[in-house]
Amino acid sequence: MIINKSYDPLIAKTVLQRYWWWPVLFVALFTAVAYAYLRYTKPIYESQMVIQLGERDSAKDLLDIENINTKDSALSSVVELLRSELLFERAVKRLNLNVSLYSKGDLLTEEKYMSSAFNVQPYELMDSSLINQEIHIVVKGQKNIEVNYEYGGKTIRVNGKINEHIRNTHFDIVVKVANSANFKSVSTENDLYFVFNDKKSLSASLIKGLSVVPIDPNAKTISVSFRGHNPKLCRDITNAISESFVDYDRELKRKSSAGILEFIDSRLDSLSNELEDSKDTLMRYSRESRISDPESAGTILSVNISKLQDQLFTLEEEFRALEMVSSSLKENTNRLEVYRLMPEMMGKSYETNLVAKLQSLHDLLETRDDLIYAGATLDNPKIKHIDQKISSKMGQIQRSIKSLETRLSENLSVVKRKINELEVETFDLPEKKLEFNRLKNIQNLNEKYFNLFSEKKVLYEISDAGYTSMNRVLSSPKVNHNPVKPNRQVVYISFIILGLFAGLGVILLRYLMFNEINVVEDLEKILPEKASILGGVPLLKLPLDYSRILVADAPKSILAESMRKIRTNLSYVSPGYKTIAVSSSISGEGKTFVSMNLAGIIAMSGKRTILLDLDFRKPKIHLGFDIENKAGVSTVIAGHCDLDEVIRKSQVENLDVITAGPIPPNPSELLLSEKFISIVEELKKRYDVVLMDNPPVGLVSDGVKNLSDADIPIYVFKSHFSKRNFAMRVRELFEVQQLGSLNVILNGVKRSNSNRYGYGYGYGFGFEDEDEGYVDENYSNIRIGKSGRRRWLRWFKND
């Protein structure tokens, strides 16, 4: 196969003229495919809203108090919360999606959310196996309906009426219909059914359409959109997500505030009881001992003991706080618990060291939650890596707590020892005075811590009251009836471009694989330099059953003029030529037609000419002259008859014919025999020109020797029929067969307005038949055979 790697305008023009309709066909085909795609593809709608995060702390502005609820959360954590299954399931629960309604057509099934001709009100579902199963509704009359479904391998049918309860052992429902006529019409066109939904599986299937994207980190804006096949459902789900987010945020704030206040109240209750007890004890002791004001002698000792008691209480309080932190971390390690522990460290001696580590642990837990919200599993390398960090951080905190507990325990021991020493020193003081001071100190301590916690409670309540979450929806979701997918304009343009490129691809492939010889210029490019071109024979209209001599019947026709020019070129090739051998690559290229009409035009010039049919395998000349083929060249060579017996006169003056004769079993041996050579020599003596119609040399080698021995060997190609690789056979005749010269005729040349076919043969008339026949419009008096016909499927064949 020859591949055309360079640009040839003649080939390009031919390919475009022949295959221009391929892009049109592909564009039309792809447009039809686009229409079908748009017609039978479910549209996808989108509803979108924009949320802005914010908060306001009035107490901080007035009292410079940082609220515990103030969010240190990054925008990404809120995005992950909005994407989470937890929040999405809360949103789905807000919607009335216990039952989904469907309308099933021939090709598509459409969910009828808020747009159905009927509605199903579920009152009770007794059998959970019916969840996610199709339950069909069939109209039986004006108000009668049938509900049927598959259960346990059987079809269950339940009859009932619209707008009335339909009960059985599996469910209790009401099929509500506002317009009975519309409901009946819709049920006739489509199959109507409904499905009891499982909220978790429904959420899992719907969450795929959710998209949460941060817009501006500085403005803390987030885009929340949902895509689905129902625009109203998209709007409602987006609304439900925003409402669920706001409620969830309030719920977390409420739980956090309630927990802190509950802790402060519990401490106040305990201190209040201790303070009352200490006051009562001191009062009783004062009455019993009659001491109201201790002597100043024990003032310094009492002050020192009081200071040590303060230190002891502080150390014990810090020690209890450490025990609480350690216990909380062992029992429940989560972000909220760690976050709640940090306020307990306020004012402690180890606040800076331990709070920083707790904050670092909180950040790691927050990162882990973000990854899990994003869809990461526990086997995810990132989760495992963060878990290792969390475990390491927990170990550091526990070691720090252990170290702090050890240090505090030592300090407690030191303080207690000092108190004991001071108590020993005060042993000599009056017992009543010492006891009074002790009870007084207890009362003062209780009052001090009671006032401290009361102040904290007031400050926190003020701070909590001044804190307001400012999360808001900047753009509310709306029902968008314009689908985002598929985009009709984009689909049509894409398919049209694909069709255009496919059609152009076919044209390009046809160009690259173009393997026909169309014009004389093609022969000039591909033939060896030794080959000379005699001219072209025009393609004439109307088919023939077989080749005929037409030049004699229409001597002024274009065909006759082209043959005359070829005859003239023969005299330039070999002025004294006696023999002419005509062949081609394969059958069907018109060598017999050229041979007959060339012999006729030579005879019309006054030369005695004889035409020999040497194509023993497929003889045709006898058909063109309407003579029998009982005897011919084969019978003369075989010795069955004499030469004079097979010479036949034709209707053309000076032209005789010898047919091929009966098909012999050994055609190659006959043409190579000495008898054949002697026949040719005898004919050369009797006639001026001996023209031999040889078999195709592209298929058999019978006629190669005749081409080599002839004065003028002629090789026939046929326009729009012969392949370019046939020229390789011509090159082989020169190189392998040692052919001295070869002359080429291009047969069946079509007309060109630009007259670019060479040698003045810029003419063409119609279509050729299978048997090489041609007719000019000047041959209206010639009988045309019945078997000629156009091969309309030819353009489907591969070049």
Beta bridge partners of 468: 56
What pLDDT is attached to residue 761? 33
Residue 761: what residue type? Answer: Y
Sheet of 144-151: strand order equals 109-111, 99-104, 191-196, 135-139, 144-151, 154-161
Contacts of 181 (CB under 8 A, 6+ apart): none
What pLDDT is attached to residue 607? 93
What pLDDT is attached to residue 153? 86
The three-state secondary structure class of 693 is strand
Question: Does residue 786 carry a pLDDT above 60?
Answer: no
pLDDT band, residue 689 (cuts 50/70/90)? very high
Question: Does residue 66 carry a pLDDT above 70?
Answer: no
**pTM, 2 dp:** 0.53
723 contacts 517 by C-beta, under 8 angstroms: yes
What is the distance between the alpha carbons of residues 469 and 67, in angstroms, rounded to a whole number?
Answer: 12
Calculate mean pLDDT across residues 772-795: 37
Which is more confident, 46 or 476? 46
- In Å, how far from its chain's centre is CA 424? 90
- In Å, how far from its chain's centre is CA 285? 91
609 contacts 599 by C-beta, under 8 angstroms: yes
Beta bridge partners of 742: 531
What pLDDT is attached to residue 389? 84
pLDDT, tens only, 562-620: 999 999 999 888 888 999 999 888 888 888 999 999 999 999 999 999 999 998 888 98
37-41, 134-138, 299-303, range with greatest mean pLDDT: 134-138
Question: Does residue 462 carry a pLDDT above 70?
Answer: no
789 contacts 769 by C-beta, under 8 angstroms: yes
Question: Does residue 687 carry a pLDDT above 80?
Answer: yes
Residue spans of alpha helices (H) in 290-380: 299-331, 335-341, 351-373
Q: What mean pLDDT value characterizes the chain?
A: 79
What pLDDT is attached to residue 476? 81
Strand runs labelled E in 597-687: 609-613, 648-649, 655-658
Which is more confident, 69 or 43? 43
Closest CA to 712 of 592, 527, 577: 577
Range in 45-49, 130-134, 729-733, 772-776 with the lowest mean pLDDT: 772-776
Contacts of 610 (CB under 8 A, 6+ apart): 599, 647, 655, 656, 657, 658, 683, 686, 687, 689, 690, 691
Which is more confident, 412 or 336? 412
Question: Does residue 789 carry a pLDDT above 80?
Answer: no
Beta bridge partners of 130: none
C-alpha distance across the termini of the chain, in Å: 9
* Assigned token pair, 423: 């108590």
Calculate mean pLDDT across residues 429-434: 64
Which is more confident, 795 or 264? 264
What is the distance between the alpha carbons of residues 755 and 333, in angstroms, rounded to a whole number?
Answer: 94
Residue spans of alpha helices (H) in 220-298: 231-289
What pLDDT is attached to residue 148? 92
What pLDDT is attached to residue 608? 95
598 contacts 551 by C-beta, under 8 angstroms: no
pLDDT, tens only, 9-23: 777 887 888 888 999
| Long-range CB contacts (within 8 A, 24+) of 452-460 | 453/264, 453/267, 453/268, 453/271, 454/268, 456/264, 457/261, 457/264, 457/265, 457/268, 459/63, 459/65, 460/68, 460/260, 460/261, 460/264
The three-state secondary structure class of 163 is coil
Question: Does residue 289 carry a pLDDT above 80?
Answer: no
What pLDDT is attached to residue 498? 94
**153 torsion bin: left (phi>0), alpha (psi -120 to 50), beta (else):** left
What is the distance between the alpha carbons of residues 562 and 746, in angstroms, rounded to a whole number?
Answer: 11
What pLDDT is attached to residue 497? 94
Determine whether 635 is exposed, middle or buried from the number of CB atoms within 10 Å of its CB (0-12, 13-18, 19+). buried
Strand runs labelled E in 133-208: 135-139, 144-151, 154-161, 165-167, 171-177, 191-196
Q: Is the dihedral of CA 118, 121, 127, 132 positive or negative?
A: positive
Q: How many residues are given for the chain?
A: 799
What is the distance between the alpha carbons of residues 177 and 142, in angstroms, rounded to a whole number?
Answer: 11
pLDDT band, residue 691 (cuts 50/70/90)? very high
What is the distance between the alpha carbons of residues 619 and 663, in angstroms, rounded to a whole number?
Answer: 8
117 contacts 186 by C-beta, under 8 angstroms: yes
Strand runs labelled E in 603-723: 609-613, 648-649, 655-658, 689-693, 712-718
What is the distance between the alpha carbons of residues 758 and 754, in angstroms, rounded to a whole number?
Answer: 10
pLDDT, tens only, 197-209: 888 888 888 889 9
What pLDDT is attached to residue 12? 82
What is the distance between the alpha carbons of residues 652 and 125, in angstroms, rounded to a whole number?
Answer: 104
